[in-house]
């Protein structure tokens, strides 16, 4: 079966799922106009803030190294995690942890990861921000079935199926950057990531090393997620099909996106970290399904939030912000000098796009100054601007709500995702300009290569658009232009909205590079 029958399946899901939602405007939500989505209220008592210590996911060690390659093994499995003070939570985790372990790759050394699926459903692993050949990119129908599960158990979904495990090969011929890996199965990415299938994958290189950035305990990857919990500790997610095998999508009123009311950082609710009075590197990832974040420290650090990198690695020069806005999947690499606070200061990481408890994220308790502050260089890297005059084509990509099988869903250029049609066929090596046009909030993500933002509306790039991006925070009724140099690798890749409910409800399309 191909995409047509898949869409018939999605149509069924939408009938079952959003019957009552027809005609309800999508852009409503508990958090006003800052996010597209609706809150799933926890029925568990919300845990107290600033009690649990911040934990950093462990770094996974290779099982083997050769002259030019590091080999890793990851088992995807059910596990329980102590997230709330009450009953434990069943999660789906890489190596059974939420988030998964962090992979660290070195530019120039290949990383090979064998994933074994012991979950009750098929999975797909995507390295977000990775520049990788098509067969390792985690195309949404490149399924890894758990050993013993047949395609018929899946309603006969067509795809390229591996049984039990699959090996992904990452060339790591790319700049140092904060990447992450997460599930990417067609129609079911939202519920799978919500259950815990996400982890960091850091790429390091000599250029970054030469900056002598804060490292060790002073380098904190922070994966921020909102989740909701039942009284029994379970993660609450409004899937239409609880088995996550046949009918995609979420139930009544959640078509705009699913928001949680518990803010987790690296899997712990509202954690507290004790920091030295020194400069820290905070590698922030918005791993929420649908929630946008506007983050700042309160009180603000005297030196500001110094952005040194974005999705695709180092900026050319540091940029000082008083706050940063992150749509789902965006990464910000920030330096914060906690030495600018008086020892004993208590500093909150707040989210101005949240309300009530979601307006706080974490707390830092500042210890004595231990070191002279890190001196931030004026130049960090070289980011050669893509010359728009080189573009061979300008395309318009529309991201809008629309009808699928008579019901509402999310479309790219008027069409729902199917594996068999291409929204764009591009020549390897060519530069294109894409105009991205939208109705609501849609964080637009391209696989394969990062891009540069040329404009937002009638202005230039926004304050958070600098450097190499792979996800663009497109806001309601906004239009942005990006420049893309295509084609490290030939093949079929997806681009999509990274609001995971929109993605699962078909806001995805193919670009074929030849
Ligand atoms: Cu982070 Cu195609 O996804
Ligand atoms: Cu990606
Ligand atoms: Cu969207």
40 and 258 in contact (C-beta within 8 Å)?
yes
pLDDT score recorded for residue 3: 36
pLDDT score recorded for residue 212: 97
One-character DSSP codes across 104-119? EEETTSEEEEEEEE-S
Domains defined along the chain, listed by start: 3-16+383-513 (2.60.40.420), 49-209 (2.60.40.420), 216-369 (2.60.40.420)
For the cut 80, the answer to whether the pLDDT of residue 265 exceeds it is yes
Q: Which ligand gives the minimal distance to the CA of 36?
A: 3
What number does the ligand 1 atom closest to the CA of 496 have? Answer: 2
pLDDT score recorded for residue 296: 98
Q: Which ligand gives the minimal distance to the CA of 198?
A: 1
DSSP three-state, residue 58? coil
Percent of the chain with pLDDT over 90: 85
Percent of the chain with pLDDT over 70: 92
How far is the first Cα of the chain from the last one, in angstroms, to the nearest whole number? 25
d(CA 56, CA 60): 12
Higher pLDDT, 1 or 260: 260
Q: How many CB atoms lie within 10 A of CB 365?
A: 16
Which residue's CA lies nearest to atom 3 of ligand 1? 128
Give the residues across from 231 on adjacent strands. Answer: none
Higher pLDDT, 250 or 28: 250
pLDDT score recorded for residue 23: 31
For the cut 70, the answer to whether the pLDDT of residue 360 exceeds it is yes
Span 307-335, average pLDDT: 98
Span 61-82, average pLDDT: 98
E-state strands within 107-164: 110-117, 125-128, 144-145, 162-163
CA-CA-CA-CA dihedral for 505, 506, 507, 511, to nearest 10: 160
Which residue's CA lies nearest to atom 1 of ligand 1? 128
Q: Where residue 137 falls among pLDDT bands split at 50, 70, 90?
A: very high
Q: pLDDT tens for residues 292-304?
A: 999 999 999 999 9
The rounded Å distance from CA 447 to ligand 1 centre is 7
Residue 467 burial (10 A CB sphere; 0-12, 13-18, 19+): buried
One-character DSSP codes across 33-48? TSSS-EE---SSPPPP
Q: pLDDT tens for residues 393-443?
A: 999 999 999 888 777 789 999 999 999 999 999 999 999 999 999 989 999
Give the residues across from 258 on adjacent strands. Answer: 38
Of 4, 200, 231, residue with least CA distance to 94: 200
Cis peptide before 366 (omega within 30 of 0): no
Q: pLDDT tens for residues 12-66?
A: 433 333 322 333 334 333 334 687 899 999 999 999 999 999 999 999 999 999 9
Mean pLDDT of the chain: 92
Please give the structure tokens belonging to residue 313.
């690695």
d(CA 98, CA 92): 8
Span 436-465, average pLDDT: 96
Element (H, E) at 8: helix 3-18
What number does the ligand 1 atom closest to the CA of 503 have? Answer: 2
């Amino acid at each position: 079966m191909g995409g047509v029958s898949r869409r018939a399946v999605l149509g069924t899901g939408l009938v079952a799922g959003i019957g009552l939602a027809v005609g309800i405007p999508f852009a409503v939500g508990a958090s006003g106009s800052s996010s597209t989505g609706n809150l799933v209220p926890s029925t568990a008592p919300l845990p107290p803030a600033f009690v649990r210590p911040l934990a950093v996911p462990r770094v996974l060690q290779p099982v083997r190294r050769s002259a030019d390659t590091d080999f890793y093994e990851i088992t995807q499995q059910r596990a329980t995690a102590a997230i709330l003070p009450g009953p434990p939570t069943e999660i789906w985790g890489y190596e059974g942890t939420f988030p998964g372990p962090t992979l660290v790759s070195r530019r120039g050394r290949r990383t090979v990861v064998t994933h074994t699926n012991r979950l009750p459903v098929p999975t797909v692993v995507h390295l977000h921000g990775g520049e990788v050949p098509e067969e390792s990119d985690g195309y949404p129908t490149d399924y890894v079935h758990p050993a013993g599960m047949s395609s018929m158990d899946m309603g006969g979904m067509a795809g390229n199926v591996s049984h039990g495990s699959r090996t992904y090969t990452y060339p790591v011929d790319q700049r140092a950057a904060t990447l992450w890996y997460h599930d990417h199965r067609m129609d079911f990415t939202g519920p799978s990531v919500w259950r815990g299938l996400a982890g960091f994958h850091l790429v390091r290189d000599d250029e970054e090393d030469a900056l002598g950035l804060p490292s060790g305990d002073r380098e904190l990857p922070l994966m921020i997620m909102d989740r909701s919990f039942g009284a029994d500790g379970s993660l609450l997610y409004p899937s239409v099909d609880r088995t996550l095998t046949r009918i995609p999508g979420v139930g009544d009123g959640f078509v705009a996106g699913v928001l949680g009311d518990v803010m987790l950082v690296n899997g712990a609710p509202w954690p507290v970290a004790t920091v030295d009075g020194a400069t820290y590197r905070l590698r922030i990832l918005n791993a929420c399904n649908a929630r946008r974040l506007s983050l700042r420290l309160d009180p603000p650090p005297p030196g500001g939030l110094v952005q040194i990198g974005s999705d695709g690695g180092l900026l050319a020069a540091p940029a000082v912000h008083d706050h940063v806005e992150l749509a789902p999947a965006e990464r910000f690499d920030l330096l914060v000098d906690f030495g600018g606070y008086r020892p004993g200061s208590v500093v909150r990481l707040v989210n101005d796009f949240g309300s009530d408890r979601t307006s706080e994220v974490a707390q830092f308790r500042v210890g004595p100054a231990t070191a002279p502050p890190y001196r931030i260089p004026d130049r960090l890297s070289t980011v050669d601007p893509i010359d728009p005059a080189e573009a061979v084509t300008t395309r318009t990509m529309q991201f809008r709500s629309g009808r699928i099988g008579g019901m509402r869903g999310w479309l790219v250029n008027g069409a729902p995702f199917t594996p068999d049609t291409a929204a764009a066929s591009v020549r390897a090596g060519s530069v294109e300009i894409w105009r991205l046009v939208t109705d609501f909030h849609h964080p637009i993500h391209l696989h394969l290569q990062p891009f540069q933002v040329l404009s937002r509306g009638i202005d230039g790039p926004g304050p958070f658009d600098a450097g190499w991006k792979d996800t663009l925070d497109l806001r309601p009724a906004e239009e942005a232009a990006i420049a893309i140099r295509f084609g490290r690798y030939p093949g079929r890749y997806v681009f999509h909205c990274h609001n995971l409910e929109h993605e699962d409800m078909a806001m995805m399309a193919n670009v074929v590079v030849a």
